[in-house]
Structure 1
Amino acid sequence: MNKIRLERFLIVSLLLCMVCNMTMQAKAYESFKVSIYVRAYEVDKMKDMHWLDSTWTVISQQLKVDKIYLETHRDLLIVDDATLEQAKKFFHDRGIETAGGITYTINEANSFETFCYSNPEHRKMVQQIAEHTAKHFDEFILDDFFFTSCKSDFEIKAKGAQSWTDYRLKLMTEAGRNLVLKPAKKINPHVKVIIKYPNWYDHFQGLGFNLEEGPQLFDGVWTGTETRDPAGNQHLQNYLSYNVIRYFDNLRPGYNGGGWVDSGGLNLGMDRYAEQLHLTMLSKTPEIILFAYNQLLGVKLSPRFRTPWQGMGTSFNYDEMTAPIRQPDGTVVQPTTMARIADVVLKQTDKLISKLGNPVGIKSYKPFHASGDDFLQNYLGMIGLPMDMHPTFPEDQQVVLLTAQAAKDPEIATKIKKQLQSGQEVVITSSLLKAIPEKIAEVSELRCTDLKALVNDFGRYGQANRDLLIPQVLYYTNDAWEMVSAGRPLRGGVSGYPILLRAPYATGNLYVLTIPDDMGNLYDYPAAALNEIRRVMSKDLGVYLEAPSKVGLFVYDNKTLVVENFNDEPVEVCVVTDDKVMKLENLEDATLLSPLPSERLDTKRAPKNSFRMLLLPHSYKAFKY
């Protein structure tokens, strides 16, 4: 009898442990995971259990977390075995998943000093770090720095007559295979090695990041979605936080693990940090990593993060983020760090994400290792053109966007003509026209020389608030047609220059979109001019915006959309659909929008419905239609 009771007791105990474990492992969010990356400096401190417990208490009381990435190396600091195992156990005991991380830097403070991958001593260290990490983790991620900027005597000799780009692409692909992947998998056959690509994707090839082979070589990729302050030296536009995820998704569908955001941009206020988190998750990525433990612990909440437009009812509410937090045990905690901002924004976004389908956009062709019109698609996203970049030419679209990057494809003229002869359309930038004039001349004899024009008047489309310097796009009269023009002035008997030019070919149309010398001047184009550009380019989406610049549109395949205002002031926006759409339903509060009375007099265009709304500063609205 005692034996039976003992068996029953053991079974019940086992079941209770299983239930307890399942409860602890439950995801903190419904639609995605939220993780924290811990630098080697902080992991090394975790040998002190008091420091580990006290710092985790500060973060975990403010932010729900699913997973922790424990870095084993940065700046020649290698965390010892015992500390790694102690930290892993600490988080496992609290129901938190763990994985590893590596930053391959010699001295990050010295202009991100990297390893020299032709130096035998450096190669040995790189391999040993990978092996050390694989001993402790079944998954680890390589932080931004698995590239090389080294120009030591070793590298100069090994490079020989090759270009730095060609040399580094081969070098880093070989290093990934032979110094990281093979050694790690020999130590731990189950280990997954993920490469995190940073946000400066248009310049990758020059430093050895190989987007053609890397996503196929590694077990997965991760995406840097930090846009921080657009005035910084990378000039990263807000929209990149969404757009770069979509691009990396298309490199190897199903293998992009998530986005990665740090505290940069908080100098502009809480909304700038919140937008980065929100836009990352609008891409429908399955996980976000918050960089880093030290920032979530050390960046204190401050009244300077409360922007002037707070209190108007904006989407991201600073007062909510600084309000006391009631814990599950009934106690109340006062938030103290930026961890609280992340928690509020991600929980708010989590409620929306499950209602959105798969993202769709205007497909833009960017061949592997191509340069030109650097990061232009992010500026276009900021003027309300949903972007979807692909490494192969899209053959299933009514409209394809080609920037100067497409010049790298030697068959681009053939692909353009095939698209146009199928009755579809191609939009090229003035930069691509200048790069391959002979190939474009096979369609239409257009020219873009070194001549410039200073413009501010867009005629019937309105006036810019400043003078804009644009390239002069030239064409033969009656062979191509200006749809949007600009001059200084345009009216009053003074000529102008094309902003959007149409050149018919077979049953299709080739459009040239003039890009100003300063891409940021796209934001100065009058709203009516932008509306015409959006109308022409959005035919595959079935919806477009009529709005000023710095308003983003995010479209999904289940007939949902998000409209987001990146301006510091309220803006009036119209969502334009076909005439069969009779209402927009707000996904957050279920209120309905009805279309405006139709006043369209142009009978040559398909009838449309227009839905007007007011968007507060740095705020969004989401709809089903």
Structure 2
Amino acid sequence: MTTTNHFLRKLFISGLMLALSVSGFSQSSAEIDDNFQFAKQHQDDIKLSVYITAHSVERLLSTPEGRREATSLMMANGITKVYLEVYRGGLLVAPELLAEITTYFTQNGFEVVGGIATVPGGDIGVKQEGELGWFNWQNPKTQQDMKKVMLDAAPIFDTFIVDDFLCTGDISLESKVAKGDRSWSDYRRQLMTELASSIFIDPAKSVNPDIHMIIKYPQWYDRFHMFGYDVETGPKLFDEVWVGTETRGQYTQRFGFVQPYEGFVNYSWIKSMAGKKIGGAWFDHGDCDALDFVEQAYQSVLAGANELVIFNYGSFVNGHAGHHLLRMDFEKLARLAKTLKTSPIHGIAGYKPPHSDAGGDLYIMDFVGMFGIPLMPTAYYPENAATIFLPTQAAADPNIVGKVVASHKQGKRIIMTAGFLAKVDDKGKLSKLAGIPKPEVGVISAEKIILDGSETTLERQLDLEAPLEVKKAIALLEVKSGHGTIPFLTKSKDGQVYVLNSHTFSEADFKAVGEVLLCPRPLGLLDLPTSWANEIRAVFNEQLQIELNAPTRITMQPLENGDLILHNYNKEEVELQLSGLENSGLLDAFTGQKLDTASGTLKMKPRSRLWLENNH
């Protein structure tokens, strides 16, 4: 009986194994088609990574159970690369634990990178005197402690990233003495440039000569120079540059009223300096609903990022609604990233020199992009561009007047802000080209605009930079205020020079609400009626030969192959008209569906996007 049962059991098992083999489920069959394998297959186009903070490393990865959970979570989300943080806020992870976890993840098919968040805590370093919780980098203890961390951690990793906090706002007596006669900006940039080498790069390479060192910049690009970030020298020192695209929620105050287009602006601007050293983009879950979260991924990819680092692993343990959307859209993002390698976004050049003060134009490029203007920021004067946008930041270029005059002679279109014209030392040359007297900054808040010849009250007041006067220019858009009728947009008589009399934020606006880094309040600029949005958009986009009739909070980003990415960031459905839509046979390449454009109108659902691909 025992022999018979043994024979039957062997026969059953053999039959089962044969059936599994035939059906493709044997151990020797092809790998399972899951998110992890799919991500591996597409990692040359786009790669998803996760950053694990020091506290999560100790709390969640120090046991076999925690590591198995991490492996399952990351594989399920298509994450193929892990960043292990060695230090944050006084917590220093033991090198032995880091080495053990690195080996585990490597054996399970993940790439592993080291990372550090240089923020004070415990008895490590000295906290700065100032508004934010950063280090006093002038203090020898901070320098010695951070150098030791790097010497201990560098042998473990092939690649290492320095997170957001390689900056300082310290105003202690110690730093004041070291600053001397220099400006805070000059002193801090010079200090942090020196320490980037002496505390991070040189010690790391002394114990691990082949280590690949990365610097990650945050997203608050218009404030970098104030707190020690030197975006010109950083890419020269480090092996690679990562960029923060963490725009989060545009309607909420917690992390500033940041516009989604800012991720594209920040990455593109830094890329203009980093060149081939540009690497991935980095965003997080902070203040994000599901749509905010995945929208960060799209603008990162559109800017050219081929790796998306998600901060942080703890949010995957706790769960976030955006993870589902990212899993569902991974294939679309990979396909988009692949297309952009050969057909990147092109558009309108916006000039922001490195280390440039913004005056009343803080983060203006983000808002211009939200008008459906494909603004492409650059750190160097775009002399070959057909249209050139010059906000206040451009006045930091000591040779800007000669460059603008030369561009004007070449027939280029110049769009200046009133803030730029007020700040630039032009001896009246550029004001003459614009056809208006040189303005003096004096912020005006208008509650009414002139619309179709009549006064119309706005939902939210519109801020203007100066009480412009029109002499030899034409006023295209005007507001009504206590100062009378003030032009908001002017055109020179030769049709080449335009002045945009906008005001976003100034240092005074930041201080009024205690903000240091991010947009302090919502603006009426994005509540302008569609006719005004169309007028502003046409001035920027005319030479692109793309005519868009749409409200604000629509982004439009053309690819060099003629495709077009549209994104509706509004909370409601919108209708838009686009030149050449009638019977155009357009496809939405994201879905493969043919679009109904017979009437020349497209409908876009709230918080949605389209990839317009010509099917001819």
TM-score when normalising by structure 2? 0.82
Shift of 1:288: 0.3
Change (3 A) 1:495 1:79: closer
Q: Distance in 2 between matches of 1:175 and 1:416?
A: 37
Which residue is equivalent to 1:524?
527
Q: Distance in 1 between matches of 2:177 and 2:186?
A: 14
Which residue is equivalent to 1:246?
268
Shift of 1:77: 1.9
Amino acid at match of 1:241: G
Q: Distance in 2 between matches of 1:340 and 1:62?
A: 10
1:53 and 2:75 equivalent?
Answer: no
Given that 2:151 and 2:207 are in contact with CA atoms closer than 8 Å, whether structure 1 keeps it comes out as: yes
1:559 and 2:562 equivalent?
Answer: yes
Q: 1:511 aligns with which of 477, 480, 498?
A: 498
Which residue is equivalent to 2:448?
456
Shift of 1:203: 0.5
Say how many residue pairs are matched: 549
Given that 1:429 and 1:515 are in contact with CA atoms closer than 8 Å, whether structure 2 keeps it comes out as: yes
Q: 1:35 aligns with which of 49, 72, 79?
A: 49
Given that 1:545 and 1:576 are in contact with CA atoms closer than 8 Å, whether structure 2 keeps it comes out as: yes
User: Relative to structure 2, which stretch is displaced further, 538-547 or 586-595?
Assistant: 586-595
Which residue is equivalent to 2:586?
584
The gaps in structure 2 that reach 5 residues or longer are 1-26, 506-521
Change (3 A) 1:476 1:35: closer
1:598-617 to 2 correspondence within 5 Å?
A: 611-617=600-606
Shift of 1:596: 6.5
Deviations 1:536-571 (A, max 9, x none): 211443324210111111111111111111111100
> Secondary structure of 1:195's partner?
strand
Q: Distance in 2 between matches of 1:577 and 1:394?
A: 29
Amino acid at match of 1:459: L
Given that 2:363 and 2:504 are in contact with CA atoms closer than 8 Å, whether structure 1 keeps it comes out as: no
Given that 1:75 and 1:105 are in contact with CA atoms closer than 8 Å, whether structure 2 keeps it comes out as: yes
1:382 and 2:385 equivalent?
Answer: no
Given that 2:344 and 2:559 are in contact with CA atoms closer than 8 Å, whether structure 1 keeps it comes out as: yes
Amino acid at match of 1:497: I
Which residue is equivalent to 2:86?
72
Shift of 1:488: 6.3
Amino acid at match of 2:97: T
Amino acid at match of 1:207: F
1:178 and 2:198 equivalent?
Answer: yes
Given that 1:404 and 1:432 are in contact with CA atoms closer than 8 Å, whether structure 2 keeps it comes out as: yes
The gaps in structure 1 that reach 5 residues or longer are 1-15, 302-337, 598-610
1:487 and 2:480 equivalent?
Answer: yes
Deviations 1:398-420 (A, max 9, x none): 11000000111122111111111
Shift of 1:391: 0.8
Which residue is equivalent to 2:110?
96
Deviations 1:558-616 (A, max 9, x none): 1111111111110011223599x95433213444458777xxxxxxxxxxxxx420010
Which residue is equivalent to 1:219?
239
Given that 2:39 and 2:78 are in contact with CA atoms closer than 8 Å, whether structure 1 keeps it comes out as: no
Which residue is equivalent to 2:292?
272
- Kindly report the root-mean-square deviation, in angstroms, between the aligned alpha carbons of the 2 structures: 3.0
Amino acid at match of 1:512: V
Amino acid at match of 2:477: V
Change (3 A) 1:30 1:192: closer
> Secondary structure of 2:275's partner?
coil
Given that 2:467 and 2:486 are in contact with CA atoms closer than 8 Å, whether structure 1 keeps it comes out as: yes
Structure 1 runs (4+) deviating above 6 angstroms are 22-25, 108-111, 594-597
Shift of 1:509: 1.2
Which residue is equivalent to 1:304?
none
Q: Distance in 2 between matches of 1:577 and 1:378?
A: 27
Given that 1:68 and 1:96 are in contact with CA atoms closer than 8 Å, whether structure 2 keeps it comes out as: yes
Given that 1:448 and 1:471 are in contact with CA atoms closer than 8 Å, whether structure 2 keeps it comes out as: no
1:342 and 2:342 equivalent?
Answer: no
1:85 and 2:106 equivalent?
Answer: no
Shift of 1:188: 1.2
Given that 2:581 and 2:597 are in contact with CA atoms closer than 8 Å, whether structure 1 keeps it comes out as: no
Which residue is equivalent to 2:352?
366
Change (3 A) 1:621 1:300: closer
Change (3 A) 1:58 1:592: closer
Shift of 1:57: 4.6
> Secondary structure of 2:285's partner?
coil
Q: Distance in 1 between matches of 2:605 and 2:446?
A: 33
User: Relative to structure 2, which stretch is displaced further, 568-577 or 97-106?
Assistant: 568-577
Change (3 A) 1:80 1:517: closer
1:157-306 to 2 correspondence within 5 Å?
A: 157-230=177-250, 231-232=252-253, 233-266=255-288, 269-299=289-319
Deviations 1:176-196 (A, max 9, x none): 011111111111111111100
Change (3 A) 1:171 1:67: same
User: Relative to structure 2, which stretch is displaced further, 516-525 or 210-219?
Assistant: 516-525
Given that 2:216 and 2:243 are in contact with CA atoms closer than 8 Å, whether structure 1 keeps it comes out as: yes
1:134-145 to 2 correspondence within 5 Å?
A: 134-145=154-165
Q: Distance in 2 between matches of 1:540 and 1:98?
A: 46
1:120-135 to 2 correspondence within 5 Å?
A: 120-135=140-155
Change (3 A) 1:516 1:125: closer
Given that 2:83 and 2:112 are in contact with CA atoms closer than 8 Å, whether structure 1 keeps it comes out as: yes
Q: Distance in 1 between matches of 2:463 and 2:451?
A: 17
> Secondary structure of 1:447's partner?
coil
Q: Distance in 2 between matches of 1:573 and 1:42?
A: 46
User: Relative to structure 2, which stretch is displaced further, 270-279 or 67-76?
Assistant: 270-279
TM-score when normalising by structure 1? 0.81
Given that 2:218 and 2:245 are in contact with CA atoms closer than 8 Å, whether structure 1 keeps it comes out as: yes
User: Relative to structure 2, which stretch is displaced further, 452-461 or 35-44?
Assistant: 452-461
